[in-house]
Structures are given as C-alpha cells and as structure tokens.
Amino acid sequence: MLLPLLSNKSNKRIREALPDRKKINAFLFCIVLAYSYLDIRRATSSLEKAQINLAFCSLIRTLTSSKVLSLDNKKKNSGFPFVLFSLIRTFAGMNIEIDQGSGFCFGVTRAIGKAEEELSKEEQLYCLGDIVHNGKECDRLQQMGLVTINHEQLRDIRDAKVLLRAHGEPPSTYALARERHINLIDATCPVVLHLQERIKKEYEEKVKSEELRVKNKSNQSKDGTNSDSSLFTLHSSLDKQIVIFGKRGHAEVIGLVGQTEETAIVIESAEDAGKLDFNRDISLYSQTTMPLDEFRKIVDYVQQHISPEATFTYYDTICRQVANRMPNIRGFALKHDVVLFVCGKKSSNGRVLFNECKEANPRSYMIDTASEIDVRWLQGCESIGICGATSTPKWLMEECKVRIEELLGCHE
C-alpha cells in the first residue's frame, strides 16, 4: 500500500538503497515515527519526553547502524531523502557544540566596549583601522555609527574623536593627533601597551649609551687617553639589535617598531633569525599573538649561533590568553567529527588557530559567515564543533549553530 509513494523519479535513490519490501516498510515506519516524535516533543512533560527520547533514539540507532538507511555517500546528498536522513541522525544523537574558549580576547572586548560606549553618546566616532579583524562585527558597529578610517585619512581630520583599537599605535600617531587637535579614545590592549613601554625603555637606554659613548670619546681625545675597557659596555649597548618576532605590516608590529624609531628588526620565523648578526648583542621580543612554539624555536636557534662575545636576552611577551588557545583548540577539534572555524579573512591569529584545528582534525573548515556552510561537510557526522579566533564574536558562532540546525532540519 505504501509502495506507490516511492514511484516518482525523485525517490529513485531511496529505491536503490532499499531494494525489498521489508526494508521499504521499515524506512517508511521510521518516517512516520520521526514526524510523530516532533509533535510528541512539543506536547509532553519533561519526564515523558526523556522516556520517549530514549526509546526513539534506540530505534533510530538500530536502523542507522544497519543497511536500512544507507545512502550512496559518493553522490551529493540533496532533496527529501537527505533532509530526512539528517533529521533522523540529528535526533539520534547529533551534538553541536560552541567552544567556550573561543571568541573575543580581553583586549578586543575592551575596545568594542569603548566603541559602544562612545557611540551611545550619539557623537561622531572614527576608528583608526578595522576595530577587529572580522567583517561582520565591523558591519554591526558601522550600523551603530562607527566610521573606519586609515592613517592617510587621519591627516585630513581635525577636532574629532578617534578610537585607537587594541593593536596599539606608534608614537607618530599620537603626535599627529596632538597636532590636529584630535581627541583619542585609546583602547590599546594593556598587554600590548606594556610591551610597547618595555621596548621603548630598552631603545631609550640604547640611545643614552650612544650619547654617553660619544661624550666619553670626546673627553678621552682631549685628555690623550684611550681605554677600550671603559667603553666595552657602551659599545655593547650601542650595537644591540632589538628584534621583534611578529608579522611584518601587522598593526601591532607597526606600533612596536615605532617605539624604536623604526630601527627594530622584525622576523617571522626561526629561518628569518638566520639573517641576524650574531656578533652583536640581541634582545628578542614577540608580538603578543604569535605562536609560542615558534618563539621557542627562535630562542633555541639564536642560543646555538650567538657569538661568545655577544649577549642574548629574550622576553616571552606572548599573551597567554591567546597562547593557551592553541592546545585547547586542538583538543576541541579532536572531540568532534567536523569542525567549523569561524574567522575573518584578515585575522592572522585566526589563520594560526585554524591550522592547528586542521592538523588535529582534517575535517575542519574555515568560514567567515554562516551562509558559507556547505551541508555536504556535515554528511555522516554525529558531532559538530564550532570555534573561532580572538576576533570572532560569540553571536556569529551562535548564528552558525542555528544555520547548521536549519540545514539538518532540526531547528524548531
């Protein structure tokens, strides 16, 4: 009696997967049960719901573990059969989890909070560069009135209010703001600000040493003396290389290099470290969002190659709130069949974290918005993990979860 329901061409794949009457009846029974289950869930108490759920899931697991519901995985799933199959798999134990450790770091949260506070005053507010490397969040703040400008446009502004994002800025930006009577809302991350101060202090000490060396050399020329030993420390400080491990052109790195009047050396890897002069002193710092493992490789490399006559000091200035996400996100990726990494295309931190996900779980996909989710990625999985970078808003990950539920037909 139910066989005519499978007579149209759109259900050809079901007939191929269920060749005999017994399997077809079992499959159709499962359809009826699935739709009945949706109604029962809305109408029963918590206790009854739990009991029904247990019995239902037991039956569905039995059916999906056999060949009764097997479909051809080599072909693209679409239409009614795949939607129903996804629905059954979902109620049989589909788990969609958002990583609680993902999302904005403290610095980004603080910057966005300052922006929202200023925008609530209904005054014109500019932001120097994207406030966060996430297009959707930038769009949200733009709708609230935030206007993003670049450094060239800053030169054309006067008597205005400008927000400095968490990445920080070089001294030249502050000087320009004073010249143009610009009111700066400084949202530089405290961790970045502290790092800027450390690098600036070391650079200023280097400059003072140079001035003292020149003065001493002049005095010695007048006295007719020349003591190399008395100048050793001064020469050592003068020749010191201030090195920053970071991404060239990154906003934070530009701000750090600016503390040294553009004299700091930027390296991006242990391979880059080979270009340093190992006969001169080296002081190594790091951009706050760089991977800790690579920083340690650079330290090892320099220690192995530094001249006995030179000194090497290094400062681990990587933010632990960011660094700790590396092992955590690896563990999260291993927990799930499929991982969706939500991240803006401009986020360097996001690329590092996504690579960690991909290495731990090959079924990891980077997306910018929920609309980019491809339902084929979710085929045959029972557990989906959603995570992101330090620039990814929680609300965007929630949107992705809702989208997955819609694609799988389980969104109520």
Residue 44 has a pLDDT of 42
Write out the two tokens for 189. Answer: 């991350």
Residue 168 has a pLDDT of 96
Q: Is 252 a catalytic residue?
A: yes
Does 216 score more than 70 pLDDT? yes
Mean pLDDT computed over 273-285: 96
Pairwise CA distance, residues 154 & 184, whole Å: 11
Sorted by where each begins, the domain ranges of the chain are 3-73, 98-103+323-407, 106-190, 191-321
Does 13 score more than 50 pLDDT? no
* pLDDT, tens digit (0-9, with 9 covering 90-100), for 181-201: 999 999 999 999 999 999 999
Residue 374 has a pLDDT of 93
Residue count of the chain: 412
Ranked by mean pLDDT, the top range of 143-152, 214-223, 313-322 is 143-152
Mean pLDDT score across all residues of the chain: 80
Residue 109 has a pLDDT of 93
Mean pLDDT computed over 338-351: 89
Query: Hey, do 98-103+323-407 and 191-321 end up sharing a CATH topology, with the first three levels equal?
Result: yes
CA angle at 171 for the pair 165 and 176, rounded to the nearest 5°: 85
Q: Please give the residue that has the higher pLDDT: either 206 or 4.
A: 206
Which has the closest alpha carbon to 126: 101, 104, 107, 152?
152
Q: Which fold has domain 106-190?
A: Rossmann fold (3.40.50)
Q: pLDDT > 90: what percent of the chain?
A: 57
pTM over cut 0.85: no
Residue 16 has a pLDDT of 53
Write out the two tokens for 391. Answer: 């620039």
Residue 11 has a pLDDT of 45
Mean pLDDT computed over 293-300: 95
Residue 327 has a pLDDT of 87
Does 56 score more than 60 pLDDT? no
Q: Please give the residue that has the higher pLDDT: either 219 or 50.
A: 219
Q: Please give the residue that has the higher pLDDT: either 16 or 294.
A: 294
Residue 238 has a pLDDT of 53
- Four-way CATH pick for 98-103+323-407: 3.40.710.10, 1.20.1260.10, 3.40.720.10, 3.40.1010.20: 3.40.1010.20
Residue 76 has a pLDDT of 43
- Four-way CATH pick for 191-321: 3.30.470.20, 3.50.50.60, 3.40.1010.20, 3.40.50.300: 3.40.1010.20
* pLDDT, tens digit (0-9, with 9 covering 90-100), for 91-149: 445 789 999 999 998 999 999 999 999 999 988 999 999 999 898 999 999 999 999 99
Give per-residue burial for 388-408: e unless 16+ CB within 10 Å, then b: bbbbbbeebbebbbebbeebb
Does 51 score more than 80 pLDDT? no
Annotated catalytic residue: which of 137, 252, 268, 356?
252
